[in-house]
Structure 1
Amino acid sequence: MDNEADIFYRTLPKVELHAHLNGSVSFQTIEKLLSRKPHLNIEHSMTAIGKGQRRTLDECFQVFKVIHQLVDSEEDILMVATDVIKEFAADGVKYLELRSTPREERNTGLTKKKYIETIIKAIQQCKNDGVDIKVRFLVAIDRRNGTEVAIETVKMAEEFMLSSDGLVVGIDLSGDPMVGHGKDLLPALQKAKDCGLKLSLHLSEIPSQREETDLLLNLPPDRIGHGTFLHPDVGGSQSLVEKVLKKKIPLELCLTSNVKGQTVPCYSNHHFKYWYKLGHPCVICTDDKGVFSTDLSQEYQLAASTFGLSHEDIWEHSQQAIDCIFAPDDVKQQLKQKWIDMKPQVFK
């Protein structure tokens, strides 16, 4: 980032809607975790994909396994979640939806319930410390774990939706797209929808998911994660596109993640261009800012430089993202007012 542009993108107020907690752990936080657990013999290069590097999707999932070894106690989760929230705030993010799959670790006594409670505690602590960011949490279903675990996860999410003072707002469906089938998770996702949880589903991450995507679009989800292979130019179909357009389902688009994970060949080929040209709601996100060595300011600048967007275009894009959040209308109104208040200083 050059200096003048750097200042614009950093001061630009932003919304982040697709951030996996463990994938968002920064270099600095990894340092702290490594110093706590030297016996694991983990090196930095095993936890992030650096500039110019690429990995297969499978190799990206291996990186998460390494990070999970470092984050296995309540103490770790509290530190990681607090650091991640503060880093997003420092990057000008004013509203953040974090997502993570509840895990249990027998060695440390961590339970799935404690996992969620600790993330909520981190959100509340940051709020009490006056960090200028609103944070909500999506409880993630890992598609690899099957129907039973998915239903158990939804039950837990529902409990927390009712008891967390509005901090738990929805369900994320993620995990290795090459494992399992969405039809097995439909009962859990429908249950989540019926009880008022919002749904953000990773869809069409790989080319061979047309049938599954079609099925899950019937729910319909409230937002789509990636949607890389929805449109016909890349092996999707016009009927899938029509469904997304008709139901006005916003897409969470993660440029660097897709390029480094090799599901998109290069930035100029990213499907952001396809949906943006259609005027369809899409939100630029990071996915895993730690693993992919990026931040939201960089992602916005990449989109602008790749697709010829002006500062005014980018401002509008950032502002329109507010309509895609899972928080209630009063929060949306507060954010819209914040954008109005901040515009003069961003464009000075």
Structure 2
Amino acid sequence: MENEADQFYRQLPKVELHAHLNGSVSFQTMEKLISRKPHLNIEHSMTAIRSGQRRTLDECFQVFKVIHQLVDTEEDILMVAKDVIREFAADGVKYLELRSTPREEKNTGLTRRRYVETVIKAIHQCKNEGVDIDVRFLVAVDRRNGTEVAMETVKLAEDFMLSSDGLVVGLDLSGDPTVPSQLEESDLLLNLPPDRIGHGTFLHPEVGGSQSLVDKVVKNNIPLELCLTSNVKGQTVSCYSQHHFQYWYQLGHPSVICTDDKGVFCTDLSQEYQLAASTFGLSREAIWKLSQQAIDCTFAPESLKQQLKQRWMELQPQVFQ
């Protein structure tokens, strides 16, 4: 890791609610994928954005195209998903909601349905192997892929929400946000309203949003998934001290610290918590509370939320010792 988070943040039990499967692939897993497909001539510098580097949003999406070339079979997806789950668990994450757009790869015979089934299989295998983490899955609709694919993906999500024994818990809208009009799309979606908002970088009047969007978020008490390093490296926020985490946190609005793409942005959730603490002067007690409150923002059933809260209570003494 670039700057190891200290022990408190590593031991802190954490909830991760905004993690894209392919963007979470670590350096070590990337090595395995690259060695399997030498003919692609892919180097690490094409799949990760290191410390101090920044890329435009468009360049960030180019990185994903490269990763997608490396992950195009059921075997790849199974390995990647299991590695990602194990790494989150090793970083002290106790509950994880992974998200990914089901992809179809004609040349390998991969279908969207098999894609989702393989991620679910990885979740089951990790559980059976005793990996200490509860994992759920969000099926993602990529806004760049058009209405037909979107409808097919929604149908898939619906099917799996009924048949996956509670592992598929929701639907995510992702992909390049500059494709539609951000103001129009934000307004349209907030009128639904959604159960959570990813990033929220376009909500404020000063970043192309409007006060009425902010008011809708507050009125409906919609939790925000905030990804500091991703926003700064992807240039949707100018610098850490200007991150909108501060705005929502001071409002007392439910906000969850997340990684977005821990592999691409070379981070992990412990580092993101430590970054928030050092940037905004948060005490360890405040960080603990942030982590604990994230449980209420999950799409987990009430019974699991209660189990997680119990787990946090049990772990608190050793984290603060």
Who is 2:302 aligned against?
329
Shift of 1:260: 0.2
Q: Does 63-72 or 148-157 show the bigger shift? A: 148-157
Distance 1:220 1:324 in 2: 15
Structure 2 match to 1:200: none
CA distance in 2, matches of 1:110, 1:40: 19
**Is 1:241 equivalent to 2:214 in the alignment?**
yes
Write the distance in 2 (CA, Å) between the matches of 1:168 and 1:144. Answer: 22
For the pair 1:75 / 2:75, whether they are aligned, the reply is: yes
Distance 1:170 1:2, change over 3 A: closer
Task: Quote the offset at 1:235 in angstroms.
Answer: 3.1
Task: Kindly state the Cα deviation for residue 211 of structure 1 after the two structures are TM-superposed.
Answer: 2.1
- With normalisation by structure 1, the TM-score equals 0.90
Amino acid paired to 2:129? D
Q: Residue type of the partner of 2:163?
A: S
Residue from 290, 308, 314 that aligns with 2:287: 314
Partner of 1:124: 124
- Give the AA of the match of 1:279: G
SS across alignment from 2:126: helix
| Deviation per residue, 1:270-296 (Å, 9 max, x gap) | 000000000000100000000000000
* 1:292 partner letter: F
1:283 to 256, 264, 270: 256
- 1:20 corresponds in structure 2 to 20
Aligned partners of 2:192 and 2:261: how far apart in 1?
26
Q: SS at 1:107's partner residue?
A: coil
TM-score (norm 2): 0.98
**Secondary structure, counterpart of 1:265 in structure 2:** coil
1:138 alignment partner, SS class? strand
Task: Give the secondary structure class of the aligned counterpart of 2:169.
Answer: strand
Matched letter for residue 37 of structure 1:
K
Aligned residues: 320
Point out the more displaced range, 98-107 or 291-300: 98-107
Q: Distance in 1 between matches of 2:178 and 2:231?
A: 16
Give per-residue Cα distances to partners, 1:169-227, cap 9 Å, x unaligned: 10010011122x4xxxxxxxxxxxxxxxxxxxxxxxxxx51222111101000000111
**Corresponding position of 2:56:** 56
3-state DSSP of counterpart to 1:98: strand
Deviation at 1:2, TM superposition (A): 7.6
The answer for the alignment partner of 1:199 in structure 2 is none
Corresponding residue of 1:85: 85
**AA aligned opposite 1:57:** L
C-alpha distance after superposition, 1:106-131 (max 9, x if no partner) = 12111111100000000000000111
Consecutive unaligned residues in structure 1, runs of 5 or more: 182-207
Q: Distance in 1 between matches of 2:265 and 2:40?
A: 22
- The residue aligned with 1:66 is 66
Task: Please give the alpha-carbon distance, in whole angstroms, between the structure 1 residues aligned to 2:36 and 2:188.
Answer: 45
What's 2:114 paired with? 114
**Aligned counterparts, 1:125-204, within 5 A:** 125-179=125-179, 181=180
Counterpart-to-counterpart distance in 1, 2:272 and 2:70: 27
Tell me which amino acid in the other structure corresponds to 1:235. Answer: G
The 2-side partners of 1:71 and 1:51 are apart by 25
Cα distance in 2 for partners of 1:119, 1:320 equals 27
Per-residue deviation at 1:340? 0.2
1:264 aligned to which of 231, 234, 237? 237
Amino acid at match of 1:213: S
The whole-number CA distance in structure 2 between the counterparts of 1:154 and 1:65 is: 23
Deviations along 1:322-346, one digit per CA (max 9) or x if unpaired, are 0000011001001000000000000
How much is the aligned-residue C-alpha RMSD, in angstroms?
1.1
Runs of 4+ with >6 A deviation:
none
Query: Which residue does 1:221 correspond to in 2?
Result: 194
Note if 1:209 corresponds to 2:189.
no
SS in 1 for 2:148: helix
Q: In 2, distance between residues paired with 1:333 and 1:231?
A: 34
Q: What SS does structure 2 have at the residue aligned with 1:170?
A: strand
Q: Give a deviation string over 1:50-96, Cα, whole Å, max 9, x none.
A: 11100000000000000000000000000000000000000000000
1:283 is paired with a residue whose SS is strand
Map Cα deviations across residues 151-172 of structure 1 (whole Å, 9 max, x no partner). 1111111111111110001001
Aligned to 1:189: none
Looking at structure 2, the residues matched to 289 and 98 of structure 1 have their Cα atoms a distance apart, in angstroms, of 12
- For 2:283 and 2:210, the matched residues in 1 are separated by 31
Equivalent residue for 2:42?
Answer: 42
CA distance, structure 2, for counterparts of residue 115 and residue 210 of structure 1: 32
